[in-house]
Amino acid sequence: MERYDVITGNDAAAWGARLSRVEVIAAYPITPQTTIVEKLAEWVDKGEMDARYIAVESEHSAMSATMGASAAGARAFTATASQGFLYMLEMISWAAGARTPIVMAVVNRALGPPWNIWSEHTDALMARDTGWIQFWASNNQEALDSIIQAYRVAEDKRVILPAMVMLEGFVLSHTAMPVKIHDQSKVDQYLPPYNPPHYVLNPKLSEPFAYGNILFPWDYVKVRLAIQKAMENSVDVIKQAAREFQEIFGIWHGDLIKEAYTDDAEVLIFALGTVAEQAEATAELLRKDGYKVGVVKVRVTRPFPKPEIAKLASKVSHVIVIDRDISFGWDGILAGEIKATLHDYKVDTPVTTKIMGIGGDDILPEHIEKAVKEVYNK
């Protein structure tokens, strides 16, 4: 039965996996992700979830186990953060190449050293080129709903790629908000059981086969091209999944992007996750003082919404990108992607990069206000 509850972002992510009827969960703890897999373990132990729970010895093994489960035809889930994400990275790449539509929650946390357990986006953005679809949640409801949507997209026969859903450490993971827990029958209507479009591993098959064998260059390039094609296909699938989610559940998080105050904007702010939500609240205040500021939440970073971003940026006098991440020796990572997009589409709107909130440092309304006023005063 549909109900509301006040829960943390991690519990919301766990609910997303539960409502998606995942069949295999591979778990290894790391702050601030741990309570996701602890909550799932509790439900499995109580018989509230019909799933196999595998407590593995490392994050590398967690991804390996979910890959094996997916290759055998099961809907598989795991979660990680930061250093664990990096330890898993070899198998993250392998999961995409093997075309295993796993969904993983990534609770963004800064990388060490020095040790830091607070939020930063650099961990997940380091893997944007591995072949995973990437969703960014800006609140706890979106964390839950994006897990469900991620399975819908990942398992689509036009896609068959893994997907990760990002939520920021402590900003969302351990912060409680009201969240709608959807009726299971509605989720089942939206997300049917996983039906792999390819052979699955089965010891009873009369003709054995293998995953991930060695390929000569002329065949390898075909495999990589197929991943690129699947990523391109996912654009329409994501949009369709978002529309149908709204029709069934009455909630709109955006598709690849979500716009706020963009109709008459002179300046646009682009950001990910909760940073975009903070920017939206700040833009509302700035508009009362006459600053025509719009906000674009980039909800999906792979596939990157290039046409949508270029079209919006072409209509304003200036773009500000707020990055909670950094590519050392280059720029903010999102800013680099947006600058490249505008170059490709021959959009000459100036772009200002603002790197904020590294290592969980506060991003306050006055920080965003200052960035906007600096642009207006140029």
Residues 225 and 279 in one domain: no
Task: Starting at the earlier edge strand, list the strands of the sheet with 103-108.
Answer: 52-55, 24-27, 76-80, 103-108, 163-168, 133-136, 300-302
Q: Domain containing 126 — which CATH number?
A: 3.40.50.970
> Which of 249, 282, 311 is the endpoint of a domain?
249
pLDDT tens track for 2-14: 999 999 999 999 9
Residues 64 and 100 in one domain: yes
In this structure, are 89 and 218 located in the same domain?
Answer: yes
pLDDT score, position 108: 98
Same domain, 210 and 271: no
Same domain, 209 and 264: no
Residues 212, 295, single domain; the answer is no
- What is the pLDDT, as a whole number, of residue 257? 98
| Residues forming beta bridges with residue 229, ordered by sequence position | none
- Domain boundary residue among 191, 222, 249? 249
Q: How high is the pLDDT of residue 313? A: 98
Q: Is the dihedral of CA 227, 208, 151, 324 positive or negative?
A: negative
Q: Is the pTM of this model over 0.95?
A: yes
Mark whether 217 and 170 lie in a shared domain: yes
Averaged pLDDT for residues 264-275: 98
Let me know whether 223 and 84 are in one domain: yes
Mean pLDDT of the chain: 96
| Distance separating alpha carbons of residues 287 and 234, to the nearest angstrom | 35
- pLDDT score recorded for residue 198: 81
In this prediction, residues 338-346 reach a mean pLDDT of 98
Q: Indicate whether 144 pLDDT > 80.
A: yes
Kindly tell me if the per-residue pLDDT of 334 is higher than 90: yes
Angle at 139 between CA 136 and CA 145, to 5 degrees: 70
Please write the tens of the pLDDT for every residue from 67-99: 999 999 999 999 999 999 999 999 999 999 999
Q: In this structure, are 346 and 243 located in the same domain? A: no
Q: Give the count of domains, the chain.
A: 2
Beta bridge partners of residue 177, listed in sequence order: 7
For the beta carbon of residue 242, count every other beta carbon within 10 angstroms: 24
Residue 294: CATH number of its domain:
3.40.50.920
Question: Residue 103 pairs with which residues in a beta bridge?
Answer: 77, 163
pLDDT at 203: 72
How many angstroms separate the CA atoms of 176 and 179, rounded? 9
Calpha distance 106→136 (Å, rounded): 9
Please give the pLDDT value at position 199.
76
**16 is in which domain, residue-wise?**
3-249
Q: How many CB atoms lie within 10 A of CB 115?
A: 9
Asked whether residue 205 carries a pLDDT value surpassing 70, the answer given is: no
Which residue among 229, 249, 269 closes a domain?
A: 249
